[in-house]
């Protein structure tokens, strides 16, 4: 693990980086932007500090290459490039340096990324896109780029599952196992999936503990990224349905399915988190923005996603020491058969899949794809109680 001890105030940088944002503290009294994060403004000592989004534009003043490190993580990855950058917004920062950044002086774009310990670090990228920029050896330590990696997508039957498989194949995945709960049955889109050269269909029913265990024994030691998109979704609240069968089926897939997968695939992934170039890097959960606040017309589904969200936080805590990132997807309503009755806007499965690929490339931990999810996130951050009331209206 890279060194991870940080103060609580420094976690503000990490909280933003988890969403793919680069934010620094700005003083509301004198306007100063500061780095590293502190309890008070370094210029006027005011404690009125606000986290503000940064463009990251800056100039590389000097660079160096480390050939020695006392830290085991970096010692195994030498040589390592570092640079001193003057940000356009004021502060000077030390950052990891992408291999395509030329010698100083040069214009760069600084971004905040999560390292393998799940802490924010600053990375200076070339000012403009360069060919194969994502393949940089140092940058890949901070991302979960699907290129060259072996991936399990747990459900290939749904429109979302098929869009995920296609997007991951297009992003250069080495191999994609695609789960198939009823292997004796063809589903719509089956032939198209089978034609993708990287794809292997495997029997996987996340409600069947024995089946999950058998598949983990077979391929668990090879999976670099696990994408759990299996979900059960019916549109009901409490009063418009008798009994608990539908709610139980939702929990069995959305919550217990995740638990079964985590118990069987988790240990192998954790043990491979530091296997150099062939390491396991990510676990992806398809949650829902309804996990943050209940959407009563889909009330029991929302509850199952809230349970899955809580379990995913536990999984994240257990995966972090191994350097395996848990990525949670919080889409708004997906344009699929279970949301037919909902008016637009809805997110297309393709857009959701592209958002996941981008998040893996950028090393983002919490992904809110599409306008609806973004708006809900902002409202939830602003006032969770107000959102609860708005959703029940």
The residues of the shown chain that bind Zn ion, judged by CB under 5 A, are: 27, 29-30, 32, 41, 43-44, 46
Dihedral sign from CA coordinates of 226, 129, 139, 362: negative
**Can you tell me which residue has the tokens 């570092």?**
82
Q: List the one residue out of 98, 85, 96, 10 whose CA is nearest residue 55.
A: 85
Q: Which is nearer to Zn ion, 32 or 95 (CB)?
A: 32
Q: Which is nearer to Zn ion, 44 or 317 (CB)?
A: 44
Q: Which is nearer to Zn ion, 15 or 33 (CB)?
A: 33
Question: Shortest Cβ distance from residue 43 to Zn ion (Å)?
Answer: 5
d(CA 287, CA 309): 7
Q: Which is nearer to Zn ion, 30 or 170 (CB)?
A: 30
- 142 neighbors 363 (Cβ within 8 angstroms): yes
Question: Shortest Cβ distance from residue 62 to Zn ion (Å)?
Answer: 27
Q: Which is nearer to Zn ion, 29 or 92 (CB)?
A: 29
Tokens standing for 187? 């589903």
Q: Which is nearer to Zn ion, 29 or 170 (CB)?
A: 29
Q: Which is nearer to Zn ion, 47 or 170 (CB)?
A: 47
**Can you tell me which residue has the tokens 């509850």?**
303
Question: Shortest Cβ distance from residue 47 to Zn ion (Å)?
Answer: 9
Question: Shortest Cβ distance from residue 35 to Zn ion (Å)?
Answer: 14
Q: Which is nearer to Zn ion, 7 or 46 (CB)?
A: 46
Q: Which is nearer to Zn ion, 25 or 143 (CB)?
A: 25
State CA 46 to chain mean position distance. 35
d(CA 214, CA 380): 40
Question: Which residues make beta-bridge pairs with 329?
Answer: 286, 367
Question: Shortest Cβ distance from residue 28 to Zn ion (Å)?
Answer: 8
Cα–Cα distance list, 246 to 36, 335, 340 (Å)? 50, 21, 18
Question: Shortest Cβ distance from residue 34 to Zn ion (Å)?
Answer: 8
Dihedral sign from CA coordinates of 302, 306, 307, 308: positive
Question: Is the preceding omega at residue 79 within 30 degrees of 0, hence cis?
Answer: yes
**Can you tell me which residue has the tokens 């896109």?**
129
Phi, psi angles (nearest 5°) of residue 53: -65, 140
Question: Shortest Cβ distance from residue 25 to Zn ion (Å)?
Answer: 10
Q: Which is nearer to Zn ion, 35 or 283 (CB)?
A: 35
Question: Shortest Cβ distance from residue 88 to Zn ion (Å)?
Answer: 19
d(CA 119, CA 334): 31
Cα–Cα distance list, 70 to 75, 93, 157, 229 (Å)? 7, 22, 49, 41
Q: 3-state class of 191 per DSSP?
A: helix
Question: Shortest Cβ distance from residue 46 to Zn ion (Å)?
Answer: 5
Question: Which residues make beta-bridge pairs with 16?
Answer: none
Question: Shortest Cβ distance from residue 92 to Zn ion (Å)?
Answer: 17
Element (H, E) at 120: strand 120-126
Instruction: Enumerate the H helices of 236-383 as residue ranges.
Output: 245-254, 256-271, 299-319, 349-362, 370-382
């Amino acid at each position: 693990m890279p060194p991870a001890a940080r103060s609580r105030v420094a976690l503000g940088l990490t909280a933003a980086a988890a969403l793919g944002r680069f934010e620094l503290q700005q003083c509301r009294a004198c306007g100063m932007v500061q780095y590293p994060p502190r309890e008070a403004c370094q210029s006027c000592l005011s404690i009125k500090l606000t986290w503000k989004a940064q463009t990251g534009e800056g100039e590389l003043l000097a660079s160096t290459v480390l050939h020695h490190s006392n830290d085991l993580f970096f010692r195994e990855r030498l040589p390592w490039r570092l640079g001193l950058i003057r940000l356009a917004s004021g502060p000077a920062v030390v950052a990891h340096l992408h291999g395509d950044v030329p010698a100083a002086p040069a214009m760069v774009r600084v971004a905040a990324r999560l390292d393998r310990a799940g802490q924010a670090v600053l990375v200076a990228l070339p000012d403009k896109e360069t060919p194969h920029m994502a393949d940089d050896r140092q940058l890949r330590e901070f991302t979960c780029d699907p290129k060259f990696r072996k991936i399990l997508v747990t459900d290939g039957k749904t429109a979302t599952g098929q869009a995920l498989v296609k997007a991951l194949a297009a992003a250069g995945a080495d191999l994609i196992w695609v789960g198939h709960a009823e292997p004796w049955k063809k589903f719509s889109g089956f032939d198209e999936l089978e034609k993708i050269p990287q794809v292997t269909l495997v029997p996987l029913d996340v409600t069947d503990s024995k089946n999950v265990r058998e598949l983990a024994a077979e391929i668990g030691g090879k999976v670099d990224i696990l994408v759990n998109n299996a979900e059960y979704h019916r549109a009901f609240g409490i009063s418009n349905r008798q009994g608990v069968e539908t709610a139980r089926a939702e929990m069995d897939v959305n919550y217990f399915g995740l638990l079964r997968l985590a118990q069987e695939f988790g240990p192998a992934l954790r043990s491979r988190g530091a296997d150099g170039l062939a390491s396991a890097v990510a676990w992806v959960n398809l949650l829902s923005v309804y996990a943050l606040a209940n959407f009563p017309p889909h009330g029991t589904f929302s509850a199952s996603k809230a349970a899955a969200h809580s379990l995913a936080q536990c999984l994240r805590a257990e995966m972090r020491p191994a350097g395996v990132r848990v990525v949670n997807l919080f889409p708004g309503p997906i344009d699929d058969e279970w949301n037919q009755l909902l008016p637009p806007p809805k997110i297309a499965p393709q857009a959701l899949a592209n958002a996941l690929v981008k998040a893996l490339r950028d090393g983002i931990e919490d992904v809110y794809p599409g306008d609806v999810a973004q708006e809900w996130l902002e409202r939830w951050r602003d006032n969770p109680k107000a959102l609860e009331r708005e959703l029940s209206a």
